[in-house]
Homo-oligomer: A and B are copies of this chain.
Amino acid sequence: MSLLELARRRRTVRKFKRDAFPMEKLIKCVEVAKEAPSGINKQPWHFVLVNDPSKKREIRNACEEKEKELHSRVKGELKEWMERENITWKKEFLEEVPYLVMVFSDTRAPYSRESTWVAVGYFLLALEEEGLATVTYTPPPSRDIAKEVNAPPYYRLETILPVGYPASKGRKKERKRVEEVMSINTF
């Protein structure tokens, strides 16, 4: 399958089957992601794979705690979008999936965030190739969540990817046409 087909097929999923899958599939995705380039080749990423049920519950609780605060403050277009998409402070997917993949960036490295998000891009495509689905969940900034997996203080939690098989067929959200996001020689 070409990269274009893979990228087009990939869509965000927020409801997952509880069906287990072999950890080897995720390790293969990390093998892909860790090939990404990074500032002075520091490879400032760290992936924590979480399959322990009580750990998943604790992470969910820590996230929901912060989500409640966030949802009470959120406004404007983001609030409208959340209401339309039925996105609340509840994050069942953090507990109901076989695996959570917590992605950290080492803030001591130059361009650590940019580099780590490039690796996340690689990882998302790799999941798709494995037939697995996720949502790129960005938890509210908080040390409490990172502490659940004993992350050192200089590691920043960038995203938590709940990974599983999709529970529904669903449609990928529309993308703009290429002419709308690209121009030649001037913006």
Contact = CB atoms under 8 A, between A and B. Distances in A.
Interface of A: 2-4, 6-8, 10, 12, 23, 27-28, 30-37, 39-41, 43, 45-52, 55, 77-78, 81, 104, 110-111, 113-114, 117-122, 124-126, 129, 136, 138, 149-152, 155, 158-159, 173, 175-176, 178, 181-187
Nearest to A7: B35
A89 to B, nearest CB: 16
Please state the number of chain copies in the assembly: 2
A3 B117 contact: no
A117 to B, nearest CB: 3
A121 B181 contact: no
B122 A125 contact: yes
A104 B28 contact: no
Contact of A118 (B47, B136, B175): B136
Contact of A182 (B46, B114, B149, B152): B46
